[in-house]
Copies of this chain bind each other. A is one copy, B any other.
Amino acid sequence: MPFLPVFFDIEKAHNTIQKYAHRTPVLTSKSINKIVGGELHFKCENFQKVGAFKFRGACNAVFSLSEVDAQKGVATHSSGNHAAALALAAKLRGVAAHIVMPENSPEIKKQAVAGYGANITFCKPTLQARENTLAKVVVKTGATEIHPYNNFNVIAGQGTAAKELIEDTGDLDIILVPVGGGGLLSGTAISTKKLLPNCKVIAAEPAGADDAFQSFQSKKLVPSENPNTIADGLLTSLGERNFEIIMDKVDDIVTVSEENIIAAMRMIWERMKIIIEPSSAVPLAAILEGKVDVKNRKVGIILSGGNLDLERLPF
Q: Residues of B contacting A269 with CB < 8 Å? A: 275, 310
Contact code string A269-284 (vs B, CB < 8 Å = 1, else 0):
1100111100000000
Q: Which residues of B contact A275 (CB under 8 A)?
A: 269, 273-275
Q: Are A315 and B311 in contact (CB under 8 A)?
A: yes
The one of B266, B273, B315 that contacts A274, using a Cβ cutoff of 8 Å: B273
Report the bound CA distance from A310 to B313 in whole Å: 9
**Copies of chain A in the complex:** 2
Inside 8 A of A51's CB, which chain B residues have their CB? 273
Cα A311 to Cα B270 in complex, Å, equals: 11
Interface string of A24-49 (1 = CB under 8 A from B): 01000000000000000000001100
Could you write out 19 A-B pairs with CB less than 8 Å apart? A25-B25, A46-B273, A47-B273, A51-B273, A266-B310, A269-B275, A269-B310, A270-B310, A273-B274, A273-B275, A273-B276, A273-B306, A274-B274, A274-B275, A275-B275, A310-B313, A310-B315, A311-B315, A313-B313
Q: A46-B273, A310-B315, A313-B313 are in contact. List 7 more A-B contacts (CB 8 A).
A: A25-B25, A51-B273, A269-B275, A270-B310, A273-B274, A274-B274, A311-B315
Q: Which residue of B lies closest to A44 (CB)?
A: B273
Q: What 5 A-B pairs come out closest when comparing CB atoms? A: A273-B306, A273-B275, A46-B273, A310-B315, A274-B274
Give A269 to B277 CA distance when docked, in angstroms. 12
